[in-house]
Every structure is written in structure tokens, then in C-alpha cells.
Amino acid sequence: MFGARLATNTFVEQRLTGRTGSGAVAVGDQTQYLGLARFFRGEPLAPEVGPPFAYRVLPPFLAAMVPGNPRVNFILINIASVMLAQVFLYALVVRLRLGTASAALGAGVYALSFPVFYYGTDALTDPMATAFLMMALWAIYEGTLSGYLVAASLGILCRETDVAAVLVFAAWSLWTRPRRWGALVVGTAVPLAVAVLPRLWFARFSHQPTYTQHASLDVLLFNLSRPRTYLTIVLALWFVPAAVTWYLARTRGRVAVLPTIDAARFVYLTGAVLLLIPAYALVAAYSDGRFFWVLYPAAIPFALGCVSAASASQARASRGIDAADIET
């Protein structure tokens, strides 16, 4: 997937140098992250590097520490991040009792998805952030506090959107273990404290000191007026309506999508929290399918549940017909 993307002539120079044939910078966000990587290599912080990009320190730091071209290093980091996300997506789907076949299918859907193909070869922080988000959510459902703390803290150092894992952790803890106040406090406080660290560090540079991107009606109207917004959302999430259509056609909605009550609660809770991220992006950022990538930890298990429920229902119907034929 990455090789096919990079082998396309129109993308090679853009992906490896960050510039088009005319010399223009290819993707605006990449300028910020590559400037941050150069800072970690000892250069002065470029004036254009400002919040919130300056707070997403982990991928640029790793790209700077590995010898060679930082842009190429970003691509290698993204490849590793996609593989890490696949591992924990597989583990989560198995833990949700959807089976190993569904888990393998989900990992394949992730690897061949539009966000991985289109954004994964850019010097962006989304692939690593999504990988740590996937790991954190698996750890929450598995009940592994230490794994969650590591994943959520590292994820927040990639993108502040990984604070969604903290919200899921808090909500799930209150729902399933309401009396474990110590774990709830630690699991909430530690990642949030980690999130403050880069903000304190870069506050001394004071290029554009701010903690959030501000929502506005103008940004919302701009995003809603762009065909790219709708096209990339469809390309990123097409498998969800496809799976739901298949499920409704085969079961008429009479079969549970997910095999257990806990699995259903966790997936729906996670999906509801993660939806806050693209919703906020619509009113505060240049929104496209990249912001819907974050829904994959809930969207893929939900789609797999639809397919699995539909297949099981069809199998039961076939066995019923076969039994009736034998009796007659």
C-alpha cells in the first residue's frame, strides 16, 4: 500500500521532499511537523511552528532521532504505526468475542483503508496517534491499567485528540467498576498531566500561545461547502453503511450486532466519544477524512459485528431449511 502510493510519479517528489513540481509546499501541516523535527536536531524553532502542532512532539522527535531525511523517517514511523494499530485492533476484536477470522478481516480493512493510503505517507502525526489510541482502548477493555497509561500518555504526545481514550477510560470505569476511585484518578490524571508537559515547554517560545483551536461558524460553513469533505468521509467510512446494509438485509435487525452486552456497551460508548473529534473538527479545523480515521477503533468492530451477525443468522436459517427438508 505504501509502496504503491510512493511509486506513483505524481506523489514521489511531494512525499519525499514536501514540495510539488512548482516548489510549493505540498501539505501545510507537514511544514509544522518537519520544522519541529529540525528543532529536535538542534535548529532554532521556525516561526511558523505553533500550537497545536508544536504540542504533538513524539512523532517529530522520533523522526529527528533516526538518521536520515526526517520526511522519509516519518513514512517509516507511519508504516510501523499502522502495523502496531493492526496488532491491537486484532486483539480488541478477539477480546470482543467476534472471532479470529473477523479480527483478521478487520486488520486487513485497516491496512487497506483510504486514510492509511492517502494520509499515511505524509509527515503527519495521525498514524501513530491512532495506533496508540487503538492500544489504549484495547487495554481499557482488557482491564490493563498500566498498558492504558502508557498508550494514552504516548498517544496524547502524538495528538491531543487521544484524550478521547481518557474519556472512554473514565466513563467505562464508572460504568463497570464504580468503586475503584484510585484507578480512576490515576488513569485520568496521568495522561492529562503528560498533555500539559509540551504546552509548558513550548510556552517559552510564545509564537502563538494557545491550547485549543477555536470553533467558528465560518469554519463550519467552509467545511460544509467543500465536496472534498464529503468525498473523503465516504472513502474513509464506506464499509460501515455497507456492513449495516448487509446486516439489515439478512437479519431485519432481529439479531444483536455484537455477541455480548459488555462488547456492545464498549463499542457504542467508544464510538460516541470518538465522534466528538470529527464533530469538533468540522467547526474548528480544515476537516476531511483524516479526522474520521479516529473512528476506526469503534467503526471497524461495529462493522465486523454486523457482518458476523448477518452470517450467523444466514447459517441458522440454512440449517433450519435443511432440517425441514429432511423431515419431509
Instruction: Count Cα atoms within 13 angstroms, Cβ side, for 104.
Output: 3
Mean per-residue pLDDT, 241-266: 94
**Residues 152-167 pLDDT 10s:** 999 999 999 999 999 9
205, 261 contact by CB (below 8 A): no
**Residues 289-299 pLDDT 10s:** 888 999 999 99
Among residues 132, 127, 135, 150, which one has the least CA distance to residue 95?
Answer: 135
Q: What is the pTM of this model?
A: 0.87
Q: Which residue has the higher pLDDT, 48 or 226?
A: 226
Neighbouring residues of 302: CB distance < 8 A, sequence distance ≥ 6: 240, 243, 257, 258, 267, 271
Give the three-state DSSP class for 228: helix
**C-alpha cell of 54?**
508544536
Give me the number of domains the chain comprises: 1
Q: Is residue 280 over pLDDT 70?
A: yes
pLDDT at 190: 97
What is the C-alpha to C-alpha distance for residues 308 and 302, in angstroms, rounded to an integer?
Answer: 10
pLDDT tier at 23, thresholds 50, 70, 90: very low
Q: Which residue has the higher pLDDT, 28 or 133?
A: 133
Cis status, amide bond into 52, omega within 30 of 0: yes
How does the average pLDDT of the chain come out, rounded? 86
What is the C-alpha to C-alpha distance for residues 228 and 236, in angstroms, rounded to an integer?
Answer: 12
- Per cent of the chain over pLDDT 70 is 84
E strand or H helix at 321, and its extent? Answer: helix 296-327
Task: Give the other-Cβ count within 10 Å of 74's Cβ.
Answer: 29
Q: Which domain holds residue 195?
A: 2-208+215-327
**Residues 193-222 pLDDT 10s:** 999 988 888 776 555 555 456 778 888 888
pLDDT at 153: 97
Largest CA distance in the chain: 84
Rounded to the nearest angstrom, the gap between the alpha carbon of residue 96 and the centroid of all alpha carbons in its chain is 19
Q: Is residue 326 over pLDDT 60?
A: no
pLDDT at 194: 95
Residue 19, beta-bridge partner list? 25
Mean per-residue pLDDT, 29-37: 91
Residues in the chain: 328
Q: Is residue 231 over pLDDT 80?
A: yes
Q: Is residue 323 over pLDDT 50?
A: no
Among residues 101, 6, 58, which one has the least CA distance to residue 304?
Answer: 101
What is the C-alpha to C-alpha distance for residues 108 and 323, in angstroms, rounded to an integer?
Answer: 36
Among residues 55, 48, 40, which one has the least CA distance to residue 161?
Answer: 55
Give the three-state DSSP class for 57: coil
pLDDT at 239: 96
